[in-house]
Amino acid sequence: MAGPLADRTAIAGIGQTAFAKGLPDSELSLACQAISAALDDAGIAPAEVDGLAMFSMEEGREVDVARNVGLGDITFFSEVGYGGGAGCGTVGHAAMAVATGQCNVAVAWRARKRAAKGSRPWAQVNRRITGHWQWSRPFGLLRPVDEIAVLTRRYMHEFGATREHLANVAVAFRKHANRNPNATMHDKPLTREQYMDARWISEPLCLFDNCLETDGALAAVIVSAERAKDLQQPPAYVHAFAQSIPQQHQVMTNYFNDDPLLGPSYACAARLWAQADVTPADVPVAQIYDAFSPLIPLSLEGYGFCARGEGGAFTDDGALEWPDGRLPTNTSGGGMSEAYVHGFNLVLEGVRQMRGTSTSPVDGAETCLVTSGEGVPTSALLLRR
């Protein structure tokens, strides 16, 4: 049964910058450019913006964004933490704020530069490690890919997932990127053979199991459903929203509880579907957070598209591929083949699926699932046409 937030707000505008390695502009400038483009897309003047929701990791602060873009009096602002887990959370916070009257026009965004200070935290740690990282980093478990590789090896051991399954993910997303002129991998096909021959990054994960490192920014404008109906773009309604920090969860190195492979997706999904009047069987297209390929089978299980342990097999027979797969996923190329902007590009592709403007549009899709980071405190959205 639909929850109290269901379809009361909509994403009415989207905007993004170019995606590249080494864009000259600052993160703040990129954020302002994306927000400006999103407002133009919605046909809303900057002075009408009175709500902001952003990643805690954002370099440009709310006050700077507001002074640059010429926003109005801001009466709601919130930040969501944990990096890649935050994307859908910012949109959800904005939607709740609009629905409860804390603001009328809210903007959510992410700007990121791979070369910027803080964008690769694993390479910038102090030598003496405090907090929970002291239990992993001194032993050479340094990078996010290493942390997820530990879970991947265990997942393969427990459930029989294979590199062929991970290749299904990488190849499907690349095919979608090859159809998307804005994707950084638009002109670069990826074969299964290239995947299998690629160099290791952290065994059992190879180069093509990893997301890209991208400079770029994206933004979304959230307004009430009533307002959205009068604007120039077809609304993408926020049908349901959820976040989760599961019990005894530890960020990234989640090796210390009874069942580490029960990731944040499970708790997030339980809340999400409880707020929705659809089930996974009703969802024909998804944008699933893909910093690393194994997050896809884990998320497919967590969000209920298949039973536990069946996420690898789910990817067989082109299930993730547009147009004929059971669940075309990451139809713009996702973090692995379009751009890695902490997953916010997945939100915008979800909106394009609801508008029918994706470069790989799923015919008749009324609903799209969008998820944020698995392996960290996370969030998810169900968008509806």
Partner 1 sequence: MEAQFLLPDIEDPDSAEFWAGCARGELLVQTCKGCGLRRMPPRPMCPRCRSLEFRWDPTSGRGTIWSFIVPHPPLLPAYQELAPYNVIVVALEEDPTIRFVGNLVTEPDGAINEIDPTTIAIGDPVRVVFHRVEDVVLPRWMKT
Sites of contact with partner 1 (CB under 8 A): 123, 125, 127-132, 134-143, 146, 149-151, 153-154, 157, 199-204, 248, 250, 253, 255-258
CB of 374 to partner 1, least distance (A): 17
Q: Please give the Cα distance from 58 to 80 (Å, whole number).
A: 10
Cβ contacts of 61 within 8 Å, gap of 6 or more = none
Q: What is the DSSP letter of 123?
A: G
- Least distance in angstroms from the C-beta of 261 to partner 1: 10
Strands 51-55 and 76-80: parallel
**Which residue, among 364, 357, 366, 371, has the nearest Cα to 329 in the 3D structure?**
371
Give the residue among 280, 276, 272 at the shortest CA–CA distance from 329: 280
Q: How far is the CB of 255 from partner 1 (least distance, A)?
A: 5
Nearer to partner 1, 39 or 150 (CB): 150
Cβ proximity to partner 1, 60 vs 375, nearer residue: 375
Q: What's the token pair of residue 210?
A: 């990893």
CB of 365 closer than 8 Å to CB of 354? yes
Task: Provide the minimum distance between the beta carbon of 294 and partner 1 in the complex, in angstroms, as a whole number.
Answer: 12
Q: DSSP letter at 303?
A: T
Minimum CB distance to partner 1, residue 373 (Å): 19
- Tokens linked to 243: 């976040």
Catalytic residues: 289, 340
| Closer of 82 and 133 to partner 1 (Cβ) | 133
CA dihedral 336, 135, 245, 119 (to 10 degrees): -40
CA 59 to mean position of chain CA atoms: 19
